[in-house]
Structure 1
Amino acid sequence: MTDAPPGLEPLVVEPPSLCSSRAATIVEEEFGKRGTATELSSERDQNFHVETEDGEEFVLKISSPADDAAALGLQTQVLAHVHDTAADLPVMRTVYTTDGRPWTSVEANGVTYLVRLFTHLPGGSVTIQDLDTEALFEYGETVARLGEALRGFFHPDARYDILWDLRHTPTLRSLLDSVTTDRRRDLAERVLDRYDDRVDPVFETLRAQVIHNDLTLDNVLLNDDGHVSGIVDFGDLTHTALVCDLVMALASVMYRRNDPVEAAEEVVRGYVSVTPLEVEEARLLADLVAARLVTWGVIVAWRVEHHPEKTDHTVDGVDDGWALLEELDDIGLDAVQRRLQTAALGSVVPYPRMETDDVLARRRQVLGESPLSYDDPIHLVAGDGAWLFDPEGRRYLDGYNNVQVVGHAHPDVAAAIGGQARKLATNTRYLHESVVTLSERILDTMPDELDRIFFVNSGSEAVDLAWRLATAVTGHDGAVVTPHAYHGITDVSAALSPEIWPEEDRPDYVETVSPPVETSSHHASTGTAPTEEMADALDTLETNNFGVAAFVFDSMFTSDGILPPDSEVLGRMADRVRDAGGLVVADEVQAGFGRTGTAMWGFEAADIVPDIVTLGKPMGNGHPVAAVVTRSDIASTLMERTGMFSTFGGNPVSATAALAVLDAIEGDDLLSHTADVGAYLEAGLAELAATYDIVGEIRRQGLMVGVELVHDDETWAPAADETAAVVEKMRQRRVLIGSTGMHGNVLKIRPPLVFDHDHADHLLSALEASLAELE
């Protein structure tokens, strides 16, 4: 007989083999119950259903020699604990011997076996396919309730080493040679690789306690109505990650179902209705389910090879277990993960799930014709890194959204927000460490002259406040912006946003000047020099008795068409503004937080020091937080005149979110990553430009990329309709980009900074197919 690797010994020890009459005798002599015994199936113990003469029912368990008195003591105390903490859970009770002991011992074939008697629970196993959503939900609830009942339970022998504990998944590699089918072995290796990469580094950080560890539908009994009527077999109890109980249940309900993922989603929803999952637990569900299925398949393969005599129920149906794993692999574990994670997180939010058509119809009833991206709107339910997911688990590559600068659903940012929200959410009229720490860290990234910071809630508010500062300091009322700039939605910021000006309704105190683009750009060769335009604009404001309060510019001139500036020209423009008594305001809402790849802020890449800086969108990775950075002399002018306070600006939750974003940018070295991936993406776009004449110019800084589409490279006539068509075709290929520029003919590629080479290849492939289809 081959020696079993560590963790497998309990599975290969010869089980007891007493006859039914001996079992009945033990029950009568040791427990004082006379009746008949009928053997039940079991993996490593021997179980008998006992019916007494007076109609009582019990289960006699003759334990495997692998289980000693310590293991039985653990199980006995667990059952007592559950009855004390959750008496309504249908858990079997220990029946004591006639002399008051929880178990006895018997001799058979020269081996001593420990024997226990339990109350019998009604119900039985059901056909998995017959479980409806209500039964699946209740199953999940029950799993969570048992974990809740065991919370806080302690026993010195609770760490029971067995390979069914998913912490031991890496050990399976030593058994893979027993898997004789190449496809199965390759699949198992890929699952183990994912475990090593995603699960193993964090497994010991997950919530842990004593768990049942085998809450499959073999051990959770249901009555004829599909309701849980019993929880049995506590033989695999161990101290491990709490989420493993849920994982065992998920693997069980997915088995042999036509809708495995849908069934699992409903169990997850039931579970989190009792015990919400932490972010990391939810992120690992699919990998842990796959690990459970691999554990089953590999253990059975090893046992069939080395212990063919061990043909208990775990061997039955293992081919269907492999088939389920192959099905999940075909769907894609990432897609399965997104659906399970959405079920886990979506079930703890106070809104109902809706079908896409219903969402759209109801939205129009209450929001009217509020704008939506794309002709065919996308219903999104979850995000992860550079990916977004719809209710069916389809994923979309996000090449457009700079709000989630460090990636969608960043676990550290989400954990920081949740953790602080559970502690304190108030305002900055009270002292708190978070806003002070955040202020110091932001100011550390700024030029020395900029030493004061105000916190608000959005980029629009930041621009609004910047304007208040500028007018208070200068005493002027005039502004200079670029011709298609966008700076926000408040009255002030909208007035500084020509992109959204109503036709023929230009504010009389705002003048426009062309962006100071690099001389390599086509746009540098047209029109009057920006410095001359600035001089004319300043003269106009002075003539009309406004004077210049501020020149407000987006450091990447994004809405004008993504035009990286010529730093020398921009510097001369800024000098003219200051000479006229105005301030220079760098709007970093789109260009900031590492977008350029060369520096934290766009104005740094442009080699200019502004008087005021506005921060917004990416600052909280989706949490509403924004700021204005300026000099102390500018800040004090406003504070002395009117003061400044924002109720929510800089609150502890918002400040904590922003701190977590800074940690992610620094910890993941996103600046150098952005520069590298941006250059890689630009090189791929250049190859497309050489093939497709419609691509007129590629402009990029970091991971802000503009691809201008034109009808020809002589007249430079904008191909606006074609640009809109490409954006829609990309959406059909589930790659999301936008458009920008005066004529709407610039493809706007502005992904989260975690966008990598593989993402770039995916985007380039979709863009090439879209351009080819356009031609």
Structure 2
Amino acid sequence: MLSGDDQQSQALAKPAFSEAQASALVESIFGLKVSKVEPLPSYDDQNFYVYISRTKETTDGPTEYVLKINNTESSKTPDLIEVQSHSIMFLRASGFPTASMCPTKADNITSLVSVDSGSEIKSYLVRLMTFLPGRIIADIPIGPQLLYDIGRLAAKLDKTLEKFHHPKLSILRRGNFIWNLKNVPLLENYLCALEQNRNREIIEQVIQLFKEEVMTKLSHFRECVNHGDLNDHNILVEPSNSACGDAAYQVSGILDFDDMSYGYYVFEVAITIMYMMIESKTPIQVGGHVLAGFESIIPLTAVERGALFLLVCGRFCQSLVMAAHSCQLHPENRDYLMITAKTGWKHLQTMFHLGQKAVEEIWFETAKSYESGISS
């Protein structure tokens, strides 16, 4: 369990740069003239929207960027951030709508900035990437076709990352990383953030079932590198010209690779299902459409399918428990941190009440209906 000192260090880890300071960073590190800077929402890093002015030297190229300032804890692992950044560049080169990295004046991807806070010197890793167009999934109605497309995207992402090579790739084996889905049992260290009520009882039951039913089967899952956070705020869409089904939107951007780690194919689809449920008016139906899209690229094995229900429940638990924990550390960021919790508790309760068999029946029957109805 985290000690008071550990919690305090985590609370102080988030950057707190002003807009003027952010603008100065862009100009000094990347050599670009800034005309506008605005803060963007973030979990434990700090992000800014940056609009640059055209100069004689920058007549071509983008004018909109995102300045990402990693928290002090993440900034202690520059190799991890380097691998994540190179994976983003690799995926873009492979045709995915990910950001481009803006090189520093020294032609690096990142720059380490040290700031004297008076009591200590803090260091932050800074990156500048192109701003991606589109609206977040959370802001639009999601129909079956878009859910299918997102499931397909998740599978293509993992499949493509199989070809990604980097000398430091092994750093993605992030042992006790709390957001890796295999680490659901570690949530026991954070349960003190929850009140003693029915919600906490459900979390405790899921953790126990996870230990018994999922942890014992990990060796039967197929391993891969996961994006690990395809949530409704990390996928951007724009209007589609397609006349196919209800596909009024198509994916225009994939954000936030900070949770990348080695996992399994079934982890990616479970995480995607859980987050697509958040904004849905019919959340239990969501899973079948996402699963159908995913399996059009990577069919799951019987063992992987059998673990899907608890994996989705497990991701709900991770999101809900860690949001409650983070709210204790960052009460000023409560609105952003509690986005999932607004509907997440209700969805987890519903899933748990229905039970694995009933939920699987809905998911698998829906997925099966695509076999004849939609071409892969």
Instruction: Sort the TM-score into its range (normalised by shorter chain).
Output: 0.7 to 0.9
State whether residues 113 and 123 of structure 2, in contact with CA within 8 Å, keep that contact through their aligned partners in structure 1: yes
Mapped partners of 1:240, 1:158: distance in 2: 9
- One-letter identity of the residue aligned with 1:57: E
Determine if the alignment matches structure 1 residue 121 to structure 2 residue 121.
Answer: no
Determine if the alignment matches structure 1 residue 147 to structure 2 residue 158.
Answer: yes
The Cα shift of 1:342 comes to 4.1
| Residue matched to 2:242 | none
| Residue matched to 2:79 | 70
Structure 2 CA distance for partners of 1:257 and 1:219, relative to 1, 3 Å: same
Number of residue pairs matched? 348
Following superposition of structure 1 onto structure 2, how do residues 452-531 of structure 1 map, counting pairs within 5 Å? none
| Residue matched to 1:33 | 32
| Residue matched to 2:90 | 81
Alignment partner of 1:257 out of 275, 280, 300? 280
State whether residues 176 and 298 of structure 1, in contact with CA within 8 Å, keep that contact through their aligned partners in structure 2: yes
Alignment partner of 1:61 out of 47, 64, 68? 68
- One-letter identity of the residue aligned with 1:313: Y
Measured against aligned partners, the alpha-carbon deviations of 1:734-757 in whole angstroms (never above 9, x if no partner) come to xxxxxxxxxxxxxxxxxxxxxxxx
The Cα shift of 1:3 comes to 2.7
Mapped partners of 1:319, 1:29: distance in 2: 41
Higher RCO (Cα < 8 Å, 6 or more apart): 2
Mapped partners of 1:269, 1:335: distance in 2: 18
Structure 2 CA distance for partners of 1:4 and 1:149, relative to 1, 3 Å: farther
Mapped partners of 1:222, 1:352: distance in 2: 24
Structure 2 CA distance for partners of 1:347 and 1:92, relative to 1, 3 Å: farther
Deviates more, 1:265-274 or 1:41-50: 265-274
| Residue matched to 2:109 | 102
The Cα shift of 1:307 comes to 5.8
Following superposition of structure 1 onto structure 2, how do residues 552-571 of structure 1 map, counting pairs within 5 Å? none
Structure 2 CA distance for partners of 1:186 and 1:128, relative to 1, 3 Å: farther
The Cα shift of 1:239 comes to 0.8
| Residue matched to 1:186 | 201
Mapped partners of 1:304, 1:39: distance in 2: 20
State whether residues 272 and 348 of structure 1, in contact with CA within 8 Å, keep that contact through their aligned partners in structure 2: no
Following superposition of structure 1 onto structure 2, how do residues 35-50 of structure 1 map, counting pairs within 5 Å? 35=34, 36-50=36-50
2:334 partner SS: coil
State whether residues 128 and 253 of structure 1, in contact with CA within 8 Å, keep that contact through their aligned partners in structure 2: no
The Cα shift of 1:300 comes to 2.5
Determine if the alignment matches structure 1 residue 210 to structure 2 residue 225.
Answer: yes
Mapped partners of 1:121, 1:333: distance in 2: 38
| Residue matched to 1:417 | none
Following superposition of structure 1 onto structure 2, how do residues 187-586 of structure 1 map, counting pairs within 5 Å? 187-224=202-239, 225-305=248-328, 308=331, 311=334, 313-344=336-367, 346=368, 349=371, 351-352=372-373
State whether residues 9 and 66 of structure 1, in contact with CA within 8 Å, keep that contact through their aligned partners in structure 2: no
State whether residues 111 and 126 of structure 2, in contact with CA within 8 Å, keep that contact through their aligned partners in structure 1: yes
Structure 2 unaligned segments of length 5 or more: list them.
Answer: 55-61, 240-247
CA RMSD, Structure 1 to Structure 2 (Å): 2.6
Mapped partners of 1:29, 1:305: distance in 2: 35
The Cα shift of 1:69 comes to 0.9
Mapped partners of 1:80, 1:340: distance in 2: 34
Structure 1 unaligned segments of length 5 or more: list them.
Answer: 354-775
Give the TM-score taking structure 1 as reference length. 0.42
Structure 2 CA distance for partners of 1:347 and 1:206, relative to 1, 3 Å: farther
State whether residues 13 and 66 of structure 1, in contact with CA within 8 Å, keep that contact through their aligned partners in structure 2: no
The Cα shift of 1:70 comes to 1.2
State whether residues 138 and 232 of structure 2, in contact with CA within 8 Å, keep that contact through their aligned partners in structure 1: no
State whether residues 11 and 44 of structure 1, in contact with CA within 8 Å, keep that contact through their aligned partners in structure 2: no
State whether residues 30 and 104 of structure 1, in contact with CA within 8 Å, keep that contact through their aligned partners in structure 2: yes
Give the TM-score taking structure 2 as reference length. 0.85
The Cα shift of 1:348 comes to 7.9
Q: Is the helix fraction higher in 1 or 2?
A: 2
1:223 partner SS: strand
2:13 partner SS: coil
Mapped partners of 2:327, 2:21: distance in 1: 30
Structure 2 CA distance for partners of 1:287 and 1:10, relative to 1, 3 Å: farther
Alignment partner of 1:158 out of 161, 167, 172? 172
Mapped partners of 1:33, 1:325: distance in 2: 46
